[in-house]
Structure 1
């Protein structure tokens, strides 16, 4: 495996945006003896765009659904509580890998021409692609786990905080926005940070799932596997993936740490909740 620094610029310009489409990079992936270390560094980095895409959007939309589900679980009404409990049980009780295959097969079985709703026909084929279908699965999965975290935080809110809000005459939405929701986030944020890290790592499962990489627009592991099969040397591509994800994990810890300090800014320094990285290898 040759390392020619003079060709690194060519690799960068031709491959750094390759995962976003063939028009933005080389139309043909490097093969065999053409492959150098720079090709692997930049093409695998290009694939990280999809891992960040999956993690960022699933976390963003999942945050709001998780909050709603957590409130549903805490509701005294069984019509809200039971669906929320079954939702979290279903997605926490089944493996993420199985969820990918189940949702993909369900989407494939839908009429390829679309679903007719009156005079309107809704297209469904686009949902079988990874950028949409895999994102949908990750969104539901992280929503279920985050909802359980938020629900635990809701049940842990000190009674004194609620009583103080009642004493000030806060009720309904005002009470939730000013007291309940900020306290819930403050208590849940260290655990939620771990969930964000786990979701980032779980995006690598998209490569192994049934969702295909459309027009070779794959994630980091997709290209790492390609290089390992072409060069018969897995000790460059896969460590590169691990290194990139370590950097992304440090970035997540830093960003979520800033939010954590913001949430706890009113507390004495010794009383502030600190984030501790506890990777969950088995859920």
Structure 2
């Protein structure tokens, strides 16, 4: 079988398009590159949707935590503490069994026991909690002079927040938020190794890499391929977030612009 035929058969297998059965023997490098790349579609799906939804919840949590109103501040603090204080892998397990219990009582929760929705919700809450702490720190670091200047121009309430506080918070938080986005995409590899099952062997990139490692007894081919895909994905994220960072800091002199530095974490 030619590499072109393999790509046609397996490139979209992870989303149910193409060959239903995985190859059993005669694994080629093309098989491994194609199927692991196919699984990356799920990692991108989880990462993009969780990041987009988590961004808005994170900002709301940061504002709530910075509030002087106790009934807004305390729930936000506890939400952030719980999801930052427990391992993501454990959150997947608890999330799956919680949705499984809810499914038995309320059938409407049935879709949440599938990875495409249930795991997405867990990732959404997790990244929102970590991002909220980043935005909260940036919110507390908004220069006092900016606030005084806004008051002098007659800005107050929502107008002050929308035009002064929030843009400055984003500018200060963006480099750290970029690293959170990178880690979120890396964390998506845990989805199909937690409680959420892979339906009809349609897993993510790590699922396929593990499959080839088990079948060939040689992990030194599929796992470097997996790492290569994630390195490429990381470069794309850094590039996109770098453009946004440039846009946020376009009004500052070149020497005062905050640059994005990749700071990988060894442990969550």
Alignment of 1:127-276 (within 5 A): 127-276=112-261
Q: Deviation digits for residues 203-225 of structure 1, max 9, x if unmatched?
A: 11112111001122110000111
- Counterparts of 2:152 and 2:66, CA distance in 1: 22
Do residues 14 (structure 1) and 9 (structure 2) align? yes
- Counterparts of 2:229 and 2:154, CA distance in 1: 51
Q: Deviation digits for residues 179-212 of structure 1, max 9, x if unmatched?
A: 0000000000000000000101101111211100
Q: What do you get for the CA RMSD once the two structures are aligned?
A: 1.0
Match 1:67 to one of 59, 62, 76: 59
Q: Secondary structure at the match of 2:194?
A: coil
Match 1:53 to one of 34, 45, 52: 45
Q: Secondary structure at the match of 1:9?
A: helix
Q: Secondary structure at the match of 1:234?
A: coil
- Counterparts of 1:90 and 1:111, CA distance in 2: 24
C-alpha spacing 1:130/1:111, structure 2 compared with 1 (3 Å): closer
Deviation at 1:111? 3.9
Runs of 4 or more above 4 Å deviation: none
Do residues 25 (structure 1) and 25 (structure 2) align? no
Q: Secondary structure at the match of 1:207?
A: helix
Match 1:44 to one of 30, 36, 49: 36
Q: Secondary structure at the match of 2:261?
A: coil
- Counterparts of 2:22 and 2:90, CA distance in 1: 31
- Counterparts of 2:77 and 2:205, CA distance in 1: 35
Q: Secondary structure at the match of 2:2?
A: helix
* More moved, 178-187 vs 167-176: 167-176
Deviation at 1:275? 0.8
Gaps of 5+ in 1: 1-5, 116-121
Deviation at 1:147? 0.2
Deviation at 1:173? 1.1
Q: Deviation digits for residues 76-123 of structure 1, max 9, x if unmatched?
A: 0000000000000000000001100011111111243x52xxxxxx51
Equivalent pairs, count: 268
- Counterparts of 1:162 and 1:111, CA distance in 2: 49
- Counterparts of 2:261 and 2:30, CA distance in 1: 35
Match of 1:119 in 2: none
Match of 1:125 in 2: 110
- Counterparts of 2:119 and 2:164, CA distance in 1: 36
